[in-house]
Chain A
């Protein structure tokens, strides 16, 4: 069942810990939830192991901290996710840039 929260994900320790407010997950914007959900879904479908994503998330947080960036937790998450997908050969950076432009210009409006 993909809808049963995994403790490995829900209780990640340290800086990788999911942002929460009074125990509940916080997604300030819809895209943050989508990003979270896509990452979890792909780990369930064995596209990658959660530990592989978690390692990249920790790296990305450390890098952003060193660089003094004020980026949000989920901006860092998104970067880590994109990097993992690229490492796995599942995402082409040029295709993502082109598709983003399609959405920005209104050429595309739906994710399907």
Chain B
């Protein structure tokens, strides 16, 4: 708790209970909906931490080097942690794909909760057996010459894909770049799209 002087907690707590009771009475909110929303947001982190890491690596070659050498330490520089991480880089000749064949190990601290398909038996088995087909189903068409590397996440070590920076983004600032980076791109089932002309 804050050591600053402010209204005692109990006053605010009473006020919010009164507010909720009035809004429920007027049928403007349902308490169950509030419960659901709070727990959904408490569990959600979203991909923005991971996106920040990727964008930093794109604009700062020295950071990228550190990130690829030791992901765990490099994300701590940006204030993220709690996970042993290895970052794998997509290049024109190599595409990386992350899976957890055993369960659903996933770098939560960076990209939030795993999507349902990531936990499915189908993805867990097919990503290893026929990655090219799986990627095509996600809309990623790779040249035959591109090597696909599969990384099997575990409780001890999580993987994050460093996607390729899209062409035409030379003038974007780091924060703008981060907005382009999606969760799927950091799992490896998507590539980062350049910004649409209208959004620039």
Contact = CB atoms under 8 A, between A and B. Distances in A.
Interface of A: 2-5, 7, 9-11, 20, 22-25, 27-31, 33-38, 40-42, 44-45, 47, 69-72, 75, 78, 82, 90-91, 95-96, 99-100, 102-104, 108, 110-112
A91 B160 CA distance: 47
Interface stretch (B29-37, B86-94, B123-131, B148-156): B29-37
A102 B37 contact: no
Contacts of B195: none
7 contacts: A10-B46, A22-B80, A41-B37, A69-B6, A96-B18, A103-B21, A110-B21
Interface residues of B, number: 48
Contact of B18 (A44, A72, A99, A112): A99
Nearest to A111: B21
Given A11-B46, A72-B6, A111-B17, A23 B109 contact: yes
B198 interface: no
A82 B19 CA distance: 9
